[in-house]
A and B are shown apart, each in its own frame.
Chain A
Amino acid sequence: MSHATGLEYLRKEALPLMWCSGCGNGITLGAMLRAFEELRYKKNEVVVVSGIGCWGKADDYIMTNALHTTHGRALTYATGVKAANPELHVVVLMGDGDGATIGGNHLIHAARRNMDLTAIIVNNFNYGMTGGQFSATTPAASITSTSIAGNPERGFDICGLAEAAGANYVARETVANGAMLKKRIVEALGKKGFSLVEVISPCTTLFGPRNKMKQPIDMIRWMKEKGVPRAKYEQLANAEADGYFVTGKLVDKDYPDFCASYESMRSRINVRAGGK
């Protein structure tokens, strides 16, 4: 059996990738395109909706339909696409600034509404495209270009947020394990309702070097060491304080998605109108 390459979805003429060497966006893009291939998605039935930021530029390399939107609002556009044509596979690409900071409110409501979308949030803990300022996921005390003496704010747990807001599927993986990342994306795409994969990814030019991880490999080592399955995380004495985070599938449920709920409401309205 041959492995999926995802090449039929890749816009080869746009190569090489614009991202810095060591950046996790290429791995994530590859994992996603392979997932499309495994699911035998037709290019015209996929709409990739992206926001603004390094990862938001991924649409440049994708041969499916795409909608490159405004900063933080990708989920809102995707909501309109999906609600107006529920047959489409709608995938939303956002970074931590885009998806969890300026667009945090839309993330909460897309999850609450249980829109049948797959959000792939690449979390590199800072605003890469604007030079590495702190975002809503930057850990406390981290050094960024707007927190030179350490971030005074706490970082968000994107997965915890999505779970609390009602997502049907939530997973977190790191780009240190591309195969597992692809597996999670396949699971997320296959899930009806709101699904989210948080991808822990290195910003090798800005965040890493400013935070004692000078080489890209240092960041990969860091995520391999600190990203642990839930069972292991719970055994650790000071997991949170020591900077560990949970990887794996975190939420998997089957609450009816928005389109299904809307159709049941539509039949109630039609019954009433018919009964007049």
Chain B
Amino acid sequence: MTSTSRLIQGNEAIALGAFYAGARFYAGYPITPSTEIAEICSRELPKLGGTFMQMEDELASMGAIIGASLTGVKSFTATSGPGFSLMQENLGMATMGEVPLVVIDIQRSGPSTGLATKPSQSDFMQLRWGRHGDQTVIAICPSSVRECFEMTVKAFNLSEQFRTPVIVAPDEIVGHMRENYAVPAPGELPVCDRIKPSGPADGYKPFNFEGDKVAPLASYGSEYIFHITSSMHGEDGFSNNDPQNAARRVAQLHKKIEEHRGDIVMTKSYDVEDCDILVVATGAVARTARAAAAEARKKGLKVGVLQLITIWPFPDVEIIKAVEGARKVVVAEMNYSGQLAGEVVKALGPQVNLKKVNSFNGQIITPADILKEFD
């Protein structure tokens, strides 16, 4: 621990991580349990030469950060369930327009207003499938204050690199947890910026539908003039209804992420090499799982934990590898339907010996809840 280690809340670490990554524009609407991020941005962004805007709703917040990002300013918003639902339409526009930005969704208990101050992990499917139209997305779930910071920086890097929205979705426990953490000095963590065009301004095309490629993105106001549209469009950014063009466009939106999953998918494994039982978990529940595994190891049970950091694209390859040799998989998550468990079954096949541990009352999963499934 360095001398600068101090008590930092998850939400604060997210805001600080965003600033570290170069974010200078925030637009949002207050909602528990994400509001600390807005409050910090309102105080700090003006000092950094950036802008904080409190919008009239979450639709406006998403619209504003898309607009701001297209001027070349790294932009983000933060929200929770109900607000995240409102963001979906414009989030789809960010995907279609290949606009780099970061959305923070502090997951709280639902459905609807639900238990507004209580944690959950029930937005996994909305993170992936919340928008109409076929598209893909990158979503990340940190489990500690350190990961809140580091994964927010990573989220900005991925969004800039792949010109895509990236969602960071800690559960309320992680967003509100405080831990000792030393914020890295500038330069300690890599920070990437979007590639800007360098050729002649005349022939600039804001899109490239060649396989998994991503076109350089100019900024409004630079010498490069460009169109971005929510409608189907060609590489020049103008409307285009040709079916062949549409097919290339939609495929590229998927391929640019799928074919780079190695740069995107992050997991952490703990004692999985020799494990008989593999626990798969994410966010705060990954901590519970590790505590349960440590307890089980004391009793001689060989339990390993695979912590999913990237949720989308789903770490199926990593799960298949980690489960090798194990006789049982336990998936622990804070929702009723087993949103992660379903994906694990998809990866491992319906014959897998899988036990689900679920909490859906706003209360956290304890090590004892998971230990029960080891017998």
Interface of A with B (CB < 8 Å)?
11, 14, 43-45, 47, 49, 52, 57, 59-60, 63-70, 73-85, 87-88, 105-106, 108-109, 262, 265-266, 269-270, 273
Contact = CB atoms under 8 A, between A and B. Distances in A.
Interface of B: 24-25, 27, 43, 46-47, 51, 53, 55-57, 59-73, 75, 89-90, 93, 97, 219-231, 238-239
A14 B238 contact: yes
Nearest to A267: B46
Contacts, number: 146
26 contacts: A44-B222, A60-B238, A65-B220, A65-B225, A65-B227, A66-B228, A66-B229, A67-B67, A67-B227, A68-B230, A68-B239, A69-B63, A70-B63, A76-B62, A76-B67, A77-B64, A78-B67, A79-B27, A80-B25, A80-B75, A81-B71, A88-B71, A105-B60, A106-B59, A109-B60, A262-B51
Nearest to B56: A109
B310 to A, nearest CB: 27
Contacts of A65: 220-221, 225-227
Contact of B66 (A63, A75, A80): A80
B45 to A, nearest CB: 9
Nearest to A76: B63
A76 B70 contact: no
A45 B57 CA distance: 28
A59 B71 contact: no
B112 to A, nearest CB: 21
B60 A273 contact: no
A84 B63 contact: no
B101 to A, nearest CB: 10
A105 B68 CA distance: 20
Contacts of A84: 24-25, 51, 67-69, 71, 73, 75
Contacts of B220: 47, 65, 67, 81, 85, 88
Given A65-B220, A79-B67, A80-B66, 4 more contacts: A44-B222, A73-B60, A79-B64, A84-B71
A53 B46 CA distance: 37
Contacts of B46: 262, 265-266, 269-270
Question: Among the interface residues B43, B51, B67, B222, which one has the most CB atoms of the partner chain A within 10 A?
Answer: B67
A275 to B, nearest CB: 13
A49 B220 CA distance: 12
A265 B42 CA distance: 11
Contacts of B221: 44-45, 47, 65, 85, 87-88
B25 to A, nearest CB: 5
B71 A85 contact: yes
Given A44-B223, A76-B63, A67 B71 contact: no
Nearest to B27: A80
Contacts of B71: 80-81, 84-85, 88
A66 B227 contact: yes
Contacts of A265: 46
Nearest to A68: B229
A76 B60 contact: yes
A205 to B, nearest CB: 21
Contacts of B222: 44
- Top 8 nearest A-B pairs (CB, nearest first) are A80-B67, A76-B63, A80-B64, A84-B68, A68-B229, A81-B67, A80-B68, A76-B60
Contacts of A74: 63
A118 to B, nearest CB: 15
B41 to A, nearest CB: 12
Nearest to A80: B67
Contacts of A108: 56
B225 A49 contact: no
A262 B51 CA distance: 8
B163 to A, nearest CB: 15
Contacts of A70: 63, 89-90, 93, 230
Question: Among the interface residues B57, B70, B220, which one has the most CB atoms of the partner chain A within 10 A?
Answer: B220
Contact of B70 (A67, A75, A266): A67
A80 B101 CA distance: 13
Contacts of B62: 76
A59 B226 contact: no
B83 to A, nearest CB: 14
Nearest to A82: B67
Contacts of A262: 46, 51
B28 to A, nearest CB: 12
A83 B73 CA distance: 10
A74 B67 CA distance: 10
B228 A106 contact: no
A57 to B, nearest CB: 8
A262 B25 CA distance: 13
A62 B219 CA distance: 18
A236 to B, nearest CB: 37
Given A45-B221, A76-B63, A77-B64, A83 B90 contact: no
B240 to A, nearest CB: 10
A83 B238 contact: no
A87 B228 CA distance: 20
B65 A80 contact: yes
A117 to B, nearest CB: 11
A60 B228 CA distance: 10
Contact of A79 (B53, B70, B89, B231): B53
B56 A105 contact: yes
Question: Among the interface residues B56, B226, B231, which one has the most CB atoms of the partner chain A within 10 A?
Answer: B56
Contacts of A45: 221
Contact of B90 (A52, A73, A75, A105): A73
Contacts of A79: 27, 53, 55, 60, 63-64, 67
